[in-house]
Amino acid sequence: MGRGLIVDGWLRLRGWARIGVLASRLRMMLDDVLATRIDNPGLGPAVGSTETRDTADRVIDIVRRLVEFNGLDQ
């Protein structure tokens, strides 16, 4: 295993660097989706946003599956 990574400046995880990069990118995508949905509840993506409803739903589904299966592919 690699040396690990630190999430949000306090949570230490051990794993390969490429997994950390994927987790970081997924976190950024989720943050964007949540911000858009909070700013525009029920309206879908914000005007001028590159996010589509389908992409946003897929990001949320991926995060949901990771949480449900504790990061394992079941």
Rounded distance between C-alpha atoms, residue 2 and residue 33, angstroms: 30
Residues contacting 36, CB < 8 A, separation 6+: 45, 46, 49, 51, 56
**According to the model, what pLDDT value does residue 29 have?**
93
Residue 15: predicted pLDDT:
74
Can you tell me the distance from the alpha carbon of 58 to that of 13, in angstroms, rounded to the nearest whole number?
Answer: 25
The pLDDT assigned to 30 comes to 93
Q: What is the pLDDT of residues 10-69, one digit of tens each?
A: 877 777 778 778 888 999 999 999 998 888 777 655 444 555 778 888 999 988 988 888
**Would the pTM count as exceeding 0.85?**
no
For the chain, give every domain's residue range: 5-68
